Amino acid sequence: MPRWTELSLDPNSQIAIESRMATVTAARRPVTTDKLAYIRDLVRGKRVLDVGVVEHFLEAERDERWLHHHVSKSAAYCLGVDILAEPVQKLKAQGYNVAVCDITRDPINDTFDVMICGDVIEHLGAPQGMFDAAAKVLVPGGRMLVATPNPFFLNRAWRIARGRFHESVDHVMHFDASNIAELAERAGLRLDAFRGVAVPVSSYRSFVGRMYARMQNMLPWFGFAPESVCNTVVYECVKG
Query: Which CATH superfamily is 4-201+227-239 part of?
Result: Vaccinia Virus protein VP39 (3.40.50.150)
- For 150-193, how does the pLDDT look when each residue is reduced to its tens digit (9 = 90+)? 999 888 888 888 888 778 898 999 999 999 999 999 999 999 99
Please give the Cα distance from 101 to 99 (Å, whole number). 6
Cα separations (Å) of 28 from 70, 144, 146, 191?
25, 16, 14, 10
- For 49-86, how does the pLDDT look when each residue is reduced to its tens digit (9 = 90+)? 999 999 765 555 666 888 999 999 999 999 999 999 99
- Model confidence at 129, pLDDT cuts 50, 70, 90, reads very high
Quick check: 237 and 191 in contact, CB under 8 A? yes
- For 17-58, how does the pLDDT look when each residue is reduced to its tens digit (9 = 90+)? 999 999 999 999 999 989 999 999 999 999 999 999 997 655
Number of helices (H), then strands (E), belonging to the chain: the values are 8, 7
**Would you state the pLDDT for residue 209?**
64
pTM equals: 0.91
Cα separations (Å) of 54 from 36, 42, 182, 205?
16, 21, 28, 29
Quick check: 184 and 191 in contact, CB under 8 A? yes
